[in-house]
């Protein structure tokens, strides 16, 4: 499908397109740079709320921001005439409410021992509101210095690295499967959920054993699911000479079946692993990070290095790359294609399961967790180049990092928009991705 347009030369078209698209994106983005409005009349399902008072007088126009335990912003609220503020939350976890001290009226400070930060643990979403109280006082106490921008950026960067590593773990599998079979597997997101959910189940079954065992069992179940899907569904369908587009639609159907079977037999409410549910962070320079995050990031990083090494050095890795590059040639050189594809499915699913378990450890486990991550995974593999394992790693890190960093300037929920903007720009400028080969596309 070589790109030959009879009317316009490719280079000119691409630049015109690029400028046009930038204009469109900016005009859409412009709509978001409008002031955040006051509270709505209808109450959300769960919220963190509070009333700001000095003595008995309510204090209006103070900006309160709530962060989750990963340090990502959940939302910002400005206190109203009655001193009330509220921010919607959708999951359990440890939240920190922070007053922007710059918005405090002159002479108002905090009582002795109190700061502009209050931590609220939400263990279960059984109430509609979780009150948080700040101890404000007129005069007396000096203001606490706000957290510097550099510190915030550093923390955001670390959490970006963490998300990036997890996205990369999941994306490698999707990209490898695409590489060897040509299938864009929409059910990959369910592999992520499946890993986390089974590990949670194993943890509940054997609460006294060390946490490593349920994790390993969860990863193995992920690999097993990959095995079952390849042998039970996709290999027979490939043998029927079904094309990849039809198989992609089949994988969409499969994703729905898996997702809703998980809701029915797991649960609809989000949960967390019993181990390491709440861990207070340790300070490394300006960065505050829970120990579990350090462990997770190290393991994920080590895994990515390991995969790269295996792909380069082992026979199986070499044959994976060979099949991905040219299946016919690989087969004629004596590589067992079906065995290679099976290995890729098992490894890719196990990696996705691992990503899901780690995501469940740092965030929450819920049936939609994979679905929510799918867009980031797609953006990552497109950025890196569909079908290339190293591309997926680089793309995953980049997408995770960029989308998390964007929460410094934009709302938390707009990070998907950033992932999409990256996706579109890449498709315009270099559609084969950073590490992709040009022939793949056009």
Partner 1 sequence: MKFELLLAAFDLKDLIGVPLRASVSIPTIVFALGAIGLNLHYGFTGLLNVGMVAFMAAGSYGMAIAFTQGVPGGILVAMVCGLLFSVIIALLIGIPALRLRGDYLAIVTIAIGEVMRVSARSQRLINITGGPFGLPSIEDRGNDVSLSDRIGIDWNPLYDTENPTRSFDVLWTDIFNFDAKALWLMIIGWALVVLMTILVWRLVNSPWGRVIKAIREDEDAARALGKNVFSYKLQSLIIGGVIGAIAGIIRTLDNSFVQSEQFRPQTTFFIWTSLILGGAASKWGPVVGAAIFWFSLQFVEEAVRQLVENDWIPDWLIDSNDIGRIRLIMMGVMLAALMIWRPQGLLGKKEEALLDVR
301 and 165 in contact (C-beta within 8 Å)?
yes
Q: Which of 260, 312, 333, 437 binds partner 1 (CB under 8 A)?
A: 260
Q: How far is the CB of 326 from partner 1 (least distance, A)?
A: 15
Q: What b-and-e string marks burial along 54-64, b requiring 16 or more CB atoms within 10 Å of the CB? A: beeeebeebbb
- CB proximity list for 435: less than 8 A, separation 6 or greater: 384, 385, 388, 390, 391, 394
Tell me how far apart the alpha carbons of residues 403 and 407 are, in angstroms, rounded to a whole number. 7
> Does residue 434 interact with partner 1 by CB under 8 A?
no
Q: Which of 226, 290 has the CB closer to partner 1?
A: 226
Q: How far is the CB of 39 from partner 1 (least distance, A)?
A: 9
Q: How far is the CB of 239 from partner 1 (least distance, A)?
A: 12
Q: Which of 9, 30, 31, 439 binds partner 1 (CB under 8 A)?
A: 31
Binding window for partner 1 (CB under 8 A); candidates: 143-151, 327-335, 375-383, 392-400:
375-383
Q: Which of 12, 24, 140, 143 binds partner 1 (CB under 8 A)?
A: 24
> Does residue 257 interact with partner 1 by CB under 8 A?
yes
> Does residue 22 interact with partner 1 by CB under 8 A?
no
Q: Which of 52, 165, 184, 405 binds partner 1 (CB under 8 A)?
A: 184
> Does residue 107 interact with partner 1 by CB under 8 A?
no
Tell me how far apart the alpha carbons of residues 299 and 279 are, in angstroms, rounded to a whole number. 18
Q: How far is the CB of 36 from partner 1 (least distance, A)?
A: 6
Count of residues of this chain found to bind partner 1 when the rule CB under 8 A is applied = 67
Looking at the chain, how many residues does it have? 442
The DSSP letter of residue 232 is I
The DSSP letter of residue 59 is -
Q: Which of 294, 441 has the CB closer to partner 1?
A: 441
Q: Which of 152, 416, 434, 435 binds partner 1 (CB under 8 A)?
A: 416
175 and 389 in contact (C-beta within 8 Å)?
yes
Tell me how far apart the alpha carbons of residues 158 and 164 are, in angstroms, rounded to a whole number. 10
Tell me how far apart the alpha carbons of residues 375 and 399 are, in angstroms, rounded to a whole number. 10
Q: Which of 23, 245, 278, 306 binds partner 1 (CB under 8 A)?
A: 245
> Does residue 253 interact with partner 1 by CB under 8 A?
yes
- Which of 422, 386, 378, 389 is closest to 404 using CA atoms? 422
SS3 track for 123-167: CCCCCCEEECCCCEEECCCCCCCCCCHHHHHHHHHHHHHHHHHHH
Q: Strand 282-284 relative to strand 287-289: parallel, antiparallel, unpaired?
A: antiparallel
- Which of 419, 417, 416 is closest to 398 using CA atoms? 419
418 and 403 in contact (C-beta within 8 Å)?
yes
- CB proximity list for 391: less than 8 A, separation 6 or greater: 175, 381, 383, 384, 385, 433, 434, 435, 436
Q: How far is the CB of 142 from partner 1 (least distance, A)?
A: 33
Q: Which of 95, 266, 378, 390 binds partner 1 (CB under 8 A)?
A: 378
Binding window for partner 1 (CB under 8 A); candidates: 21-29, 64-72, 98-106, 158-166:
21-29
Binding window for partner 1 (CB under 8 A); candidates: 101-109, 163-171, 201-209, 256-264:
256-264
Binding window for partner 1 (CB under 8 A); candidates: 78-86, 221-229, 238-246, 319-327:
238-246
> Does residue 254 interact with partner 1 by CB under 8 A?
yes
> Does residue 428 interact with partner 1 by CB under 8 A?
yes
Mapped onto helix, strand or coil, the DSSP state of residue 108 is strand
Q: Where are the alpha helices (DSSP H) in 74-127?
A: none
Binding window for partner 1 (CB under 8 A); candidates: 93-101, 247-255, 274-282, 286-294:
247-255
Q: Which of 411, 430, 434, 435 binds partner 1 (CB under 8 A)?
A: 411
Cβ count near 364 (within 10 Å): 19
Binding window for partner 1 (CB under 8 A); candidates: 140-148, 163-171, 220-228, 263-271:
263-271
Q: Which of 19, 119, 263, 282 binds partner 1 (CB under 8 A)?
A: 263
The DSSP letter of residue 287 is E
CA angle, residues 71, 74, 75, in degrees to nearest 5: 130
Contacts (CB under 8 A) with partner 1, residues 32-61: 32-34, 36-37, 40, 42, 44
Where on the chain is the footprint of partner 1 (CB under 8 A)?
Answer: 1-7, 17, 20-21, 24, 28, 31-34, 36-37, 40, 42, 44, 75, 88, 182, 184, 237, 240, 242-246, 248-250, 252-257, 259-261, 263-264, 268, 371, 375, 378-379, 382, 386, 411, 413-414, 416-417, 419-420, 423-424, 427-428, 431, 441-442
């Amino acid at each position: 499908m070589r790109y030959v347009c009879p009317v316009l030369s490719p280079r000119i078209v691409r630049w015109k397109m690029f400028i046009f698209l930038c204009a469109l994106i900016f005009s859409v983005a412009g709509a978001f740079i409008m002031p955040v409005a006051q509270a709505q009349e209808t109450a959300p399902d769960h919220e963190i709320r509070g009333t700001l008072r000095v003595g008995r007088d309510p204090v209006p126009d103070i900006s309160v921001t709530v962060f989750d335990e990963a340090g990502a912003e959940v939302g910002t609220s400005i206190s109203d005439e009655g001193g009330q503020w509220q921010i919607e939350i959708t999951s359990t976890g440890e939240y920190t409410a922070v007053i922007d001290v710059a918005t405090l009226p002159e002479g108002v400070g905090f009582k002795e021992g109190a700061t502009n930060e209050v931590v609220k643990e939400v263990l279960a979403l059984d109430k509609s509101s979780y009150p948080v109280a700040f101890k404000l006082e007129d005069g007396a106490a000096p203001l606490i210095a706000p957290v510097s921008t550099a510190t915030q950026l550093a923390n955001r960067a670390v959490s970006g690295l963490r998300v990036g590593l997890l996205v990369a773990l999941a994306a490698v599998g999707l990209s490898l499967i695409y590489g060897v079979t040509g299938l864009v597997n929409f059910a990959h997101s369910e592999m992520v959920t499946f890993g986390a959910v089974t590990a949670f189940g194993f943890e509940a079954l054997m609460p006294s054993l060390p946490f490593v065992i349920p994790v390993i069992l969860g990863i193995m179940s992920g690999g097993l699911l990959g095995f079952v899907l390849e042998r039970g569904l996709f290999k027979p369908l490939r043998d029927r000479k079904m094309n990849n587009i039809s198989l992609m639609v089949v994988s969409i159907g499969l994703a729905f079946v898996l997702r809703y079977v998980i809701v029915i037999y797991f649960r609809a409410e989000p949960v967390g692993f019993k181990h390491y549910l709440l861990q207070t962070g340790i300070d490394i320079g300006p960065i505050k990070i829970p120990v579990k995050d350090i462990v997770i990031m190290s393991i994920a990083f080590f895994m990515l290095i390991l995969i790269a090494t295996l792909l380069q050095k082992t026979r199986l890795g070499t044959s994976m790359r060979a099949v991905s590059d040219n299946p016919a040639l690989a087969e004629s050189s004596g590589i067992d294609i079906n065995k290679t594809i099976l290995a890729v499915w098992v490894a890719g699913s196990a990696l996705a399961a691992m990503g899901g378990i780690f995501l469940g450890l740092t965030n929450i486990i819920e049936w939609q967790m994979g679905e929510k991550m799918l867009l980031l995974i797609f953006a990552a593999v497109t950025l890196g180049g569909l079908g290339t394992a190293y591309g997926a790693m680089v793309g995953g890190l980049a997408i995770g990092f960029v989308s998390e960093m964007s929460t410094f300037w934009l709302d938390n929920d707009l990070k998907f928009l950033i992932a999409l903007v990256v996706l579109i720009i890449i498709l315009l400028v270099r559609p084969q991705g950073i590490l992709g080969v040009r022939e793949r596309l056009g």
